Homo-oligomer: A and B are copies of this chain.
Amino acid sequence: MKALYIKKGRLSFRKDYPEPKLKADEALVKVNLAGICSTDLELVKGYANFEGIPGHEFVGEVVKVKNSKDKKLIGRRVVSNINLGCGECEYCNVGIKEHCLNGKALGIIKKDGIFAEYVSLPVANIYTLTESVTDRQAVFVEPLAAALRISEVVKIPLKGKVAVLGPGRLGILISQVLSLTGVRLTLLGRIKESLNLPKKLGLGVGLIQDFKDKTFDLIVDATGSEGGLTNALRLIKPLGTIVVKSTYQGEVKLNFSKLVVDEITIIGSRCGPFLPAIELLAAGKIRTEELIEAEYPLKEGIKAFEHAARPGVKKILLKFL
């Protein structure tokens, strides 16, 4: 089958990659449409030392199952949780496969991803879609779930001041999701032009440099860059909380005494719940169409990755049909 492939930080297009073999409790999914995520770009830079097929944001159709009890899935449009638990560790035992100690992650850790014609997936990871969610919406289920995770890890200060740093794709999804809680928030960027799209979507926006120190009670850092946490530490109020949302290859410097003296909380947040994400998309509560920049066919995947890496670019999709 055709697939994109990463080896030693180099992306290539393969015409003859072997089709995945199904294990028990797995389904074979034909990929329809996929999104390129910042994590995919980091993988090409060497993040997680990944070798294999990248990609984890997608919608596809089940074409084959291993167990007869799963036959009803055939022909269904589906998305998939990206975390494959071992089923045996202390985290899997309590249903948190996101933190499986032997964890595999679709297209990120020890498991081929979805920038390929076919992918094998545990049936337990699959969520079926109704017609009310289009393919172009469905590719946003995974990042939208990640945005929803924030409400699971911190309390939302509805009377306080909340900022999201980074007016990129993830920052805009997060801002839309948090706005649904009723909180007043400001999506902050460093460049005026970067605020045009979120402003068009009705979000409150501002320039980071216009805000004084210790302004916000809760800050979500969706910049994916070293400067994000530095700005967040400047803008956060005493006793405030900073949620770090984007994986980033490398180390950041942290002002230790500021953290302690102002008793700041920094909390990492990653994958989130799929069902609420699907529901919100089906109900039309989240705008995604404006977040799409372009579609490329799979065979032009390398060009698509280059496009996705340009600063300020919106979501780049890979189309398989």
Chain B nearest CB from A92 CB (Å) reads 12
Chain B nearest CB from A242 CB (Å) reads 9
Expressed in whole angstroms, the Cα–Cα distance for A262 and B246 within the complex equals: 12
Expressed in whole angstroms, the Cα–Cα distance for A260 and B220 within the complex equals: 12
Q: Chain A contact residues (Cβ within 8 angstroms of B): what range?
A: 35 or more
Residues from 238 to 281 in A contacting B, C-beta threshold 8 Å: 238-239, 244-270
B254 touches A251 (CB 8 A): yes
A256 touches B260 (CB 8 A): no
Q: Does A153 contact B (CB under 8 A)?
A: yes
A248 touches B253 (CB 8 A): no
By beta carbon, the residue of chain B nearest A152 is B263
A contact face: mostly helix, strand, loop, or mixed: mixed
Q: Does A299 contact B (CB under 8 A)?
A: no
Q: Does A47 contact B (CB under 8 A)?
A: yes
Known: A238-B99, A252-B254, A257-B248. A266 touches B267 (CB 8 A): yes
By beta carbon, the residue of chain B nearest A90 is B237
Known: A99-B238, A238-B99, A239-B99. A256 touches B248 (CB 8 A): yes
Q: Does A13 contact B (CB under 8 A)?
A: no
A263 touches B269 (CB 8 A): yes
Expressed in whole angstroms, the Cα–Cα distance for A259 and B262 within the complex equals: 20
Q: How many copies does the complex hold?
A: 2
B270 touches A245 (CB 8 A): no
Known: A265-B267, A267-B266. A247 touches B257 (CB 8 A): yes
| Cross-interface CB contact of A268 among B247, B260, B267, cutoff 8 Å | B260
Expressed in whole angstroms, the Cα–Cα distance for A254 and B267 within the complex equals: 13
Expressed in whole angstroms, the Cα–Cα distance for A99 and B236 within the complex equals: 13
Expressed in whole angstroms, the Cα–Cα distance for A231 and B251 within the complex equals: 15
B239 touches A256 (CB 8 A): no
Known: A99-B239, A101-B214, A239-B99. A247 touches B265 (CB 8 A): no
Chain B nearest CB from A86 CB (Å) reads 13
Known: A99-B239, A238-B99. A259 touches B253 (CB 8 A): no
Across-interface contacts of A251 in B (CB, < 8 A) = 253-256
By beta carbon, the residue of chain B nearest A108 is B261
Q: Does A91 contact B (CB under 8 A)?
A: yes
B257 touches A266 (CB 8 A): no
Across-interface contacts of A252 in B (CB, < 8 A) = 253-254, 256
By beta carbon, the residue of chain B nearest A266 is B266
| Cross-interface CB contact of A254 among B48, B245, B253, B262, cutoff 8 Å | B253
Expressed in whole angstroms, the Cα–Cα distance for A250 and B255 within the complex equals: 6
Expressed in whole angstroms, the Cα–Cα distance for A92 and B254 within the complex equals: 27
Across-interface contacts of A214 in B (CB, < 8 A) = 101
Name the 8 nearest CB pairs between A and B, nearest first.
A99-B238, A259-B268, A260-B268, A251-B253, A248-B256, A266-B266, A265-B267, A247-B257
